[in-house]
């Protein structure tokens, strides 16, 4: 708790906009995923609700403190947020481990975990189950889209530099409005690929809030890497991206 | 190391194979070329290794790890072509080279899955279109990222009869495995941080439930993820020689039984 307050104190200096908005309760909970039980990080606004809710999806590093901070950040704005632990207790401290963890994770298991997280949110008394969203970065950006494709309960999907889908027919099941945050210098998701995604969304007749490309590289929104700074962190672009994200969820999940 | 040297000695004469239009005096070598084919509206290319002789040969698709279509993958293509397969090593990164772990991650994580599926189907289409390939004898092998895609490809493409997946992402849901026609041979690394024994057991249970065939499964307890590729040894530690040898022997044996006989 002291640590959490510490984080809040730091964040209050750099991001007073959300920190001032509301108190947040957090808990590590257990949720069902198929026949299994997995851990998840829950952050809730103060008050009875019902609140809109957002699934927060980890990067290749795992359910890190930064992902938890993002869950708290959104909770302070009036969303119940839940970040499932897709790596089942493992958090990487180095790239080699992160790489192995990401590549070894069964795709179907991750989707099951994410749907289990949606089930857990929907079952909560303080959640408005008609107003569900998802957000993720890096690996989680791709899974944010995949979750929205596999679960019609998701109405607003933010994907930050995650794998896209380039075929209109494969986007058919999508029931969510999309906000895409991409990075122009991302070698793995080049502007052409983002353009194809945008085209496919249009062709499929899907709702798109915006597909934004920032002058930055992959992973630009995370200030730190384990054990140091993230060299590709871009402060100004990150601030803008968060404004876009906050506005998007407010409009699509809170009707503001 | 001895194994790698043995490998190199086999491959050394390879450089001149392109010029050897006349009858080779020594053992005939596979020929190699870069081939292009359509993947949906895109044109993609792959590295093709053609065994000596007219065929028809069984066809084998190889899928690279997250470092892309490296020289090491090409070496494996040549080695397998020497055993009588028409081998096509795909390039899912479409010419993009990768220089380090972060780059590899950035490329791998950015791949649109639908594009991968399209490229892999196109590669099988290409093999089938060749008169010197036996369309009824097709397999796929992959490492790391490519191991996961090898299994995925076989789930989606009933023309594939054999899958070799080396420390690749698994599928744990029996329902998703239902369309699989191929048998599967798996190589795992005991020190792999990403593929846990629990996940392997879930895969095994799902395969059993779906009534699919695991032709063989080896977990090399002393080995780290990626151990078949010497490029991983400096960071992960070199595996015991006998494990590398054993894994290849079993892979070769499995493919031989599944596709050559």
Q: What would the DSSP string read from start to end of chain A?
A: -HHHHHHHHHHHHH-HHHHTT--EEEEEEEEEETTEEEEEEEEEESS---EEEEEEE-BTTBS-HHHHHHHHHHHTTT-EEEEE-TTSS---SSHHHHHHHHHHS-HHHHHHHHHHHHHHHHT-TTEEEEEEEEEEETHHHHHHHHHHHH-TTEEEEEEES------GGGGTT--SEEEEEEETT-SSS-HHHHHHHHHHHHHTT--EEEEEEESS-TTTT--EETTEE-TT--HHHHHHHHHHHHHHHHHHHH--
Of B108, B169, B225, the CB nearest to A105: B169
Closest residue to A108, CB basis, from B106, B171, B192: B171
For residue B192, list chain A residues with Cβ-Cβ distance below 8 A. Answer: 100, 104
Q: Which chain A residue's Cα is nearest to B232?
A: A96
Give the model's confidence band at A4: pLDDT under 50 very low, under 70 low, under 90 confident, else very high.
Answer: very low
Task: For A96-116, write each residue's pLDDT tens digit.
Answer: 999 999 999 999 999 999 999
Quote the tokens at residue B228.
Answer: 């078949």
A35 CB near a chain B CB, below 8 Å?
no
- Would you call B18 an interface residue with chain A, using a CB distance cutoff of 8 Å? no
Question: pLDDT of A14-31, one tens digit each?
Answer: 444 454 468 999 999 999
A150 touches chain B (CB under 8 A): no
How far apart are the C-alpha atoms of B190 and A114, rounded to whole Å?
28
Q: Which of A98, A106, A147, A161 to mutate to test the interface with B (most CBs of B within 10 A)?
A: A106
pLDDT at A256: 87
Residue from B105, B144, B170, B207 whose CB has the most chain A CBs within 10 Å, to mutate:
B105
Beta bridge partners of B38: B43
Are the beta carbons of B105 and A98 separated by less than 8 Å? yes
Helix (H, G, I), strand (E, B) or coil at B43: strand
Read off the tokens for A220.
Answer: 């630009």
User: What is the crossing angle of helices A65-75 and A2-14, to 10°?
Assistant: 70
**Cβ-Cβ contacts under 8 Å, A104 against chain B:** 167, 169, 192-196, 199, 225
pLDDT above 80: residue A6: no
Separation of alpha carbons A204 and A172, rounded Å: 6
How far is Cα of residue B26 from the mean position of the Cα atoms in its chain? 28
Q: Which of A169-178, A224-233, A234-243, B30-39 has the lowest mean pLDDT?
A: A224-233
Q: Name the strands in the sheet holding A80-84, side by side, starting at the edge strand that comes first in the sequence.
A: A24-33, A36-45, A80-84, A51-57, A127-137, A154-160, A177-183, A208-214
B237 close contact with A: CB closer than 8 A: no
Joined tokens for residue B154 = 């076989």
Of B66, B109, B199, the CB nearest to A163: B109
* Closest to A90 measured CA to CA, from A100, A82, A81: A100
A138 interfacial to chain B (CB closer than 8 Å): yes
Q: Which of A106, A170, A188 faces B169 most closely, judged by CB atoms?
A: A106
A186 touches chain B (CB under 8 A): yes
Phi, psi of A241 (to 5 degrees): -60, -40
Measure the CA–CA gap between A199 and A193, rounded to whole angstroms. 10
Q: Does B189 touch chain A (CB under 8 A)?
A: no
Question: Which residues neighbour A253 within 8 Å (Cβ) at sequence distance 6 or greater?
Answer: A52, A54, A79, A131, A132, A133, A155, A156
Task: Please list every residue in chain B whose beta carbon sits closer than 8 Å to the beta carbon of residue A185.
Answer: none
Tokens of B172: 């744990």
CA-nearest of A120, A158, A253, A200 to B40 is: A200
On whether any CB of chain B is under 8 Å from the CB of A139, the answer is yes
How many angstroms separate the CA of residue A97 from the nearest CA in chain B? 7
Q: What's the mean pLDDT in A55-71?
A: 98
DSSP string, A186-245: -SSS-HHHHHHHHHHHHHTT--EEEEEEESS-TTTT--EETTEE-TT--HHHHHHHHHHH
How many CB atoms are located within 10 Å of the residue B179 CB?
Answer: 13
- The DSSP secondary structure of B95-163, one letter per residue, reads T----SHHHHHHHHHH--HHHHHHHHHHHHHHHHH-TTEEEEEEEEEEETHHHHHHHHHHHH-TTEEEE
A117-121 long-range CB contacts below 8 Å, 24 or more apart?
A117/A31, A117/A33, A117/A40, A117/A55, A117/A82, A117/A83, A117/A84, A118/A55, A118/A147, A118/A151, A118/A153, A118/A154, A119/A31, A119/A32, A120/A29, A120/A31, A120/A32, A120/A40, A120/A82, A121/A53, A121/A55, A121/A80, A121/A82
Q: How far apart are CA A142 and CA A216, in angstroms?
A: 18
Residue B110 at interface with chain A, using a CB cutoff of 8 Å = yes
Nearest-Cα residue of chain B relative to residue A200: B114
Note whether B102 contacts A188, CB cutoff 8 Å.
no
Q: What's chain A's average pLDDT?
A: 93
- Residue A187 has its nearest CB partner, among B96, B112, B115, at B96
**Is A193 in contact with B101 (Cβ distance < 8 A)?**
no
- Give the span between the Cα atoms of A100 and B171, in whole angstroms: 16
Predicted local confidence at residue B27, as pLDDT: 64
Contacts of B96 in chain A (CB under 8 A): 187
How sure is the predictor about A227, in pLDDT bands with cuts at 50, 70 and 90? confident
Contact between B173 and A105 using a beta-carbon 8 Å cutoff: no
- For residue A100, give the nearest of B110, B115, B194 by CB distance: B194
B160-166 and B133-143 beta bridge pairing: parallel
Q: How many CB atoms sit inside 10 A of residue B211's CB?
A: 10
Q: State pTM to two decimals.
A: 0.90
Q: Which DSSP category does B240 fall into?
A: P
Low-confidence ranges of chain B (pLDDT < 50): 1-25
Q: B209 in contact with A at a CB cutoff of 8 Å?
A: no
- Check residue B261 and give its pLDDT: 86
Write the pLDDT tens digit of every residue in A174-220: 999 999 999 999 999 999 999 999 999 999 999 999 999 999 999 99
pLDDT (average), residues A136-142: 98
* Percent of the residues in chain A that have a pLDDT greater than 90, as a whole number: 90
Would the pLDDT of A2 be above 60?
Answer: no
Q: What is the pLDDT of residue B97?
A: 87
Two tokens, residue A49: 């609700």
| Interchain CB contact of B112 with A (< 8 Å) | yes
A91 touches chain B (CB under 8 A): no
Contact A163 B195 (CB under 8 A): no
**Bridge partners, B184 (sequence order):** B163, B214
Measure B31 CA to nearest chain A CA, in Å.
Answer: 32
């Amino acid at each position: 708790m002291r640590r959490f307050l510490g984080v809040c104190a730091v964040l209050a200096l750099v991001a007073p906009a959300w920190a001032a908005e509301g108190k947040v309760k957090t808990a590590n909970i257990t949720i069902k995923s198929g026949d299994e039980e997995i851990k998840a990080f829950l952050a809730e606004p103060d008050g009875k609700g019902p609140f809109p809710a957002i699934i927060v999806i980890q990067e290749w590093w795992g359910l890190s403190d930064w992902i938890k901070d993002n869950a708290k950040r959104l909770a302070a704005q009036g969303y119940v947020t839940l970040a499932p632990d897709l790596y089942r207790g493992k958090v990487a401290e180095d790239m080699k481990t992160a790489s192995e963890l990401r590549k070894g994770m069964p795709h179907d298991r991750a989707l099951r975990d994410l749907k289990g997280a949606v089930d857990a949110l929907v079952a909560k008394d303080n959640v408005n189950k008609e107003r569900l969203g998802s957000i993720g970065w890096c690996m989680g950006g791709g899974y944010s889209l995949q979750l929205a494709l596999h679960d019609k309960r998701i109405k607003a999907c933010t994907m930050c530099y995650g794998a896209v889908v380039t075929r209109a027919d494969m986007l058919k099941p999508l029931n969510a409005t999309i906000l895409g945050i991409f990075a122009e210098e991302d070698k793995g998701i080049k502007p052409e690929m983002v353009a194809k995604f945008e085209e496919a969304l249009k062709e499929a007749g899907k709702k798109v809030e915006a597909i934004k490309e920032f002058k930055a590289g992959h992973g630009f929104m995370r200030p730190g890497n384990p054990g140091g700074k993230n060299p590709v962190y871009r402060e100004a672009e990150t601030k803008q991206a968060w404004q876009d994200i906050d506005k998007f969820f407010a409009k699509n999940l809170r009707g503001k | 190391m001895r194994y790698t040297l043995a490998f190199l000695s086999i491959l050394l004469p390879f450089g001149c194979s392109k010029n050897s239009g006349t009858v080779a005096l020594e053992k005939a070598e596979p020929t190699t070329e870069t081939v292009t084919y359509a993947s949906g509206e895109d044109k993609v290319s792959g590295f093709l290794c053609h065994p000596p002789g007219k065929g028809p040969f069984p066809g084998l698709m190889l899928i690279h790890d997250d470092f892309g279509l490296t020289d090491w993958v090409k070496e494996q293509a040549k080695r397998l072509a020497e055993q009588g397969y028409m081998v096509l090593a795909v390039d899912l990164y479409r010419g993009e080279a990768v220089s380090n772990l972060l780059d590899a991650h950035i490329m791998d994580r950015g791949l649109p899955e639908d594009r991968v599926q399209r490229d892999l189907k196109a590669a099988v289409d290409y093999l089938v279109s060749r008169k010197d390939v036996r369309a009824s004898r097709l397999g796929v092998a992959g490492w790391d990222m490519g191991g996961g895609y090898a299994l995925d490809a076989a789930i989606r493409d009933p023309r594939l009869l054999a899958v070799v997946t080396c420390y690749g992402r698994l599928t744990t849901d029996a329902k998703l495995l239902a369309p699989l026609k191929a048998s599967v041979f798996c190589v795992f690394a005991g020190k792999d941080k990403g593929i846990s024994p629990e996940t392997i057991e879930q895969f095994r249970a799902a395969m059993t439930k779906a009534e699919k065939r695991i032709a063989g499964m080896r977990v090399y307890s002393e080995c780290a993820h990626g151990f078949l590729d010497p490029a991983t040894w400096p960071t992960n530690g070199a595996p015991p020689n006998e494990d590398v040898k054993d894994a290849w022997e079993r892979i070769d044996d499995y493919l031989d039984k599944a596709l050559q006989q």
